[in-house]
Chain A
């Protein structure tokens, strides 16, 4: 864990240890671990000399932060009004079936996390599915299956597997 502490310290130092940077720090910690592990939050609080609960308050306020381990790929299905009328529920159903999980959960092999969102501001392309940072427009049940298969076939990210196991 010493190693981890150093990692967090480096991130905190990058922002000059300023309280106001707590969101940016947490974002960097999250991209390091794919989620916010408890020990990392403790380290951030310790480094910033903030009560732990304040850091937790920020971490639980924003939906972008996750306190639960996340899969290697995050699949986000838009259920906003425009995507909804264009058939997003069917896309979500197919994604659920393909991954075998409900939204908000992660597959057992830690490869995928399924999420929903209410509008991404790209309604003209709806229904939209975002995998990691890639926007995939005009989705349909069949197309989503294809996209997910593509990601399923990509080799595992060793680093991510290690992180999840070590935490």
Chain B
């Protein structure tokens, strides 16, 4: 057993647990994107950054791949961590402005402008589809090809692979194609959460119509 402190609360978890898992056992939610329950941890998106305090210094680490350590002090909701996550979601949105998952996340984090040049790439390279195909379907029909800016998800030689079982799982698990953001126009790269779609008069109480709306919810018009 390892003892650590998350957001000021002491907890004991078994060795080999990740900080993300330890936090969620305590009911603390850390936003995640490339992490998916049942798939291996990949640590690509960095949305799950937390602050790890070491004496009077601190560093930012991806909680989904960070193993717990004895005496670790973690802050999941510090100013530093939140600021870093915001920049990351902004960057991800700049490359996938039509992802509803990302737009919701941005609305939830109170991002009000994308400061980066928007270039829709249709994929954030989170690798969820690739890991799903390999680990859950035991197929390995899709994978990453290329490197750097030309890295993309593809099938071998761009033909339907023999290994593919046509399960559709790769599309289902994708945070970009799974649910497209229906907003017609983006302002500063943002849709404004689902407020764009819901007429102001009707959205009096938040029914949580959007799955990924967190505890803060959206701004509800009165």
Contacts and interface: CB of A to CB of B under 8 A. Distances in A.
A55 B147 CA distance: 14
A53 interface: yes
A21 interface: no
B143 interface: yes
Contact of B154 (A41, A50, A51, A53): A53
B140 interface: yes
A67 to B, nearest CB: 9
Contacts of A51: 134, 139-141, 143, 156, 161, 163
Interface in B13-40: none
Interface string A36-61: 00100100000000111111110011
Counting contact residues on chain B (CB < 8 A from A), the size range is 10 to 19
Nearest to B148: A61
Contacts of A55: 156
Dominant secondary structure at the A interface:
helix
Contacts of B140: 50-51, 53-54
Contact of A56 (B134, B139, B157, B163): B157
Contacts of B157: 38, 52, 56
Contacts of B163: 51-52
Interface string B148-169: 0000001111000101000000
A61 B146 contact: yes
A62 B141 CA distance: 21
A52 B145 contact: no
Contacts, number: 42
A54 B146 contact: no
B144 interface: yes
B62 interface: no
B146 A53 contact: no
B203 to A, nearest CB: 45
B142 interface: yes
B147 A53 contact: no
Which of A41, A55, A61 has the largest number of chain B CB atoms within 10 A? A61
Given A51-B140, A53-B140, A60 B147 contact: yes
Contacts of B145: 53, 56-57, 60-61
Contact of B161 (A50, A52, A62): A52
Interface in A50-103: 50-57, 60-62
**A-B CB proximity, top 4 nearest:** A51-B140, A53-B143, A52-B156, A60-B145
